[in-house]
Amino acid sequence: MTGPLRIRVALARPTFTLDVDLELPGSGITVLFGPSGSGKTTLLRAVAGLEPRASGEVRVAGQTWLDSAAGVRLPVWRRSLGYVFQEASLFEHLDVRGNLAYGLRRAGAVAPGAGPADMVAGDGPAALQAAIELLGIGHLLGRGVDGLSGGERQRVAIARALATRPRLLLLDEPLAALDAARRHEILPWLERMRDELSLPMLYVTHSADEAARLADRMVALDTGRVRADGPAAEVFAAIDAPVVAGDDAGTLVHARLVERDPRWHLARAEFDGGSFWVRDAGQAVGARVRLRVLARDVSVQLDAPARTSVQNHLAAVVEAIADGPDSSQALLRLRCGPTALLARLTRRAVDALGLAPGVPVWALVKAVAVIG
């Protein structure tokens, strides 16, 4: 996949007008983030060609899907895309192999009259076989879809979308219909897709947890307009007009595991500006990890920490102070070298410590509070 995605779309809705102008990377996951009614799904549908009244421009991998000024509007079936919905729309009368064979027929890899038996694991097209292996569904091929868990159904739906060899994969809140256990089951597979496929993906969610786990880039929408657009870590760290507020406010830290302490089941993850002790999840030393640190879990003190149960002490400088979620609180952005952390403190504490931009501090974070 080469070249960025060009998306400039306008569309009037009864409650808002979608008006976006974006240039997005040609690989990785771009998360479309925002509350219900912000225009996320409408934008996804416009890119897919499911909104015939949408105007503007959509270009993917050098191919023009929409250019209303030039009179170009490719129908949905001619747009090389995969679409995964909230509910896995599988054919109940077919087993998993049969559902995947449908994806192959749509891609033209199996003759229109062929049946499910013509798609055999190991003998199918390379794209589908790679998707089966990537999503770990080889053992499900002979199963009926009515016997699959919610997470398994979504993995099959994603594999079927990948079988079409799309230039773009659209995922519309694919975890929204799953319970917490099933969401945790499928997230590692989505991370693997992000890391191993050179395929651009637009992923709709209103979950800050999903965005932190998956996003390379974030586009925050509000009533049809782009409120923020940039690398995920930068968008999470904004405090002047925070995209993620309240208890979900926090920062995303990219780190590398450099040490494991098997006695205490901890690992140390190093990043530009410091390191965190975190729960040992079994990754190898040298593995790249994403860590999320919530603002409510960061405390601040002026003196170097001593004799404290808190495992993580980071030398930092106050960079900015903004209003918190209510009048008693403030939100601080701290700089640990090039890495930003957010801290949510009471205004009383800010005043008592004399905190202001430029003041050096120590940021304290419990190891059990770091999400990885």
pLDDT, tens digit, for every residue of 329-369?
A: 999 999 999 999 999 999 999 999 999 999 999 999 999 99
Q: In this structure, how many other beta carbons lie within 10 angstroms of the beta carbon of residue 75?
A: 9
Are the CB atoms for 188 and 210 separated by under 8 Å?
no
- Which sign does the torsion angle of CA 198, 200, 204, 207 carry? positive
Q: Which amino acid is residue 280, in one-letter code?
A: D
Strands (E), the chain: 5-12, 17-24, 28-33, 55-60, 63-67, 72-73, 81-84, 168-172, 200-205, 217-222, 225-231, 250-261, 266-271, 274-279, 288-294, 298-301, 312-323, 329-336, 339-346, 360-365
Residue 14 and residue 266: Cα distance in Å, rounded? 52
Using the predicted structure, report yes or no on whether residue 36 has a pLDDT greater than 70.
yes
Tokens of 151: 């997470």
d(CA 116, CA 101): 6
Q: Please report the domains of the chain, with CATH numbers, ordered by start residue.
A: 5-236 (3.40.50.300), 246-369 (2.40.50.100)
Grouping H, G, I as helix, E, B as strand and the rest as coil, residue 310 is coil
Confidence (pLDDT) at 111? 37
Residue 165 binned pLDDT confidence (cut-offs 50, 70, 90) = confident
Contacts of 272 (CB under 8 A, 6+ apart): 337, 338, 339
For residue 60, which of 87, 27, 85, 37 has the smallest C-alpha distance?
A: 27
Beta bridge partners of 220: 33, 228
Q: Look over the chain and give the mean of its residue pLDDT values, rounded to a whole number.
A: 91
pLDDT at 242: 84
Percent with pLDDT over 70 in the chain? 93
Contact 66, 49 (CB under 8 A): yes
Q: What is the pLDDT of residue 2?
A: 53
Pairing state of beta strands 312-323 and 360-365? antiparallel
- Distance from C-alpha of 184 to C-alpha of 208, rounded to nearest angstrom: 14
Which string of DSSP letters, residue by residue, matches 203-239? Answer: EEE--HHHHHHH-SEEEEEETTEEEEEEEHHHHHT--
pLDDT band with cut points at 50, 70 and 90 for residue 168:
very high
> Tokens 């920490």 appear where?
305
Per the CB < 8 A criterion, the answer to whether 214 and 191 are in contact is: yes
pLDDT 10s digits, 133-142: 999 999 999 9
Q: Quick check: 125 pLDDT over 80? A: no
Of 362, 367, 338, 186, nearest to 254 by C-alpha is 338
Residue 123 has pLDDT above 50, yes or no: no
How much of the chain exceeds pLDDT 90, in percent? 76
- The pLDDT, as a whole number, for residue 63 is 92
pLDDT band at 129 (very low <50, low <70, confident <90, very high): confident
In this prediction, residue 106 carries a pLDDT of: 62
By DSSP bridging, strand 168-172 and strand 81-84 are parallel
Q: What is the pLDDT of residues 3-34, one digit of tens each?
A: 689 999 999 999 999 999 999 999 999 999 99
Of 299 and 101, more confident: 299
C-alpha distances (whole Å) from 282 to each of 184, 190, 278, 285 are: 16, 19, 11, 9
Of the listed ranges 59-68, 121-130, 270-279, 355-364, the least confidently predicted one is 121-130
Name the band, by pLDDT with cuts 50, 70 and 90, for residue 225.
very high
- Region 219-231: mean pLDDT is 96
The pLDDT value recorded for residue 7 is 97
Convert the pLDDT of each residue in 89-118 to its tens digit: 888 898 999 988 877 776 554 333 433 333
Task: Summarize pLDDT for 227-275 with one digit per residue, the tens.
Answer: 999 999 999 999 988 899 889 999 999 999 999 999 999 999 999 999 9
Task: Please compute Rg for the chain using Cα positions.
Answer: 23
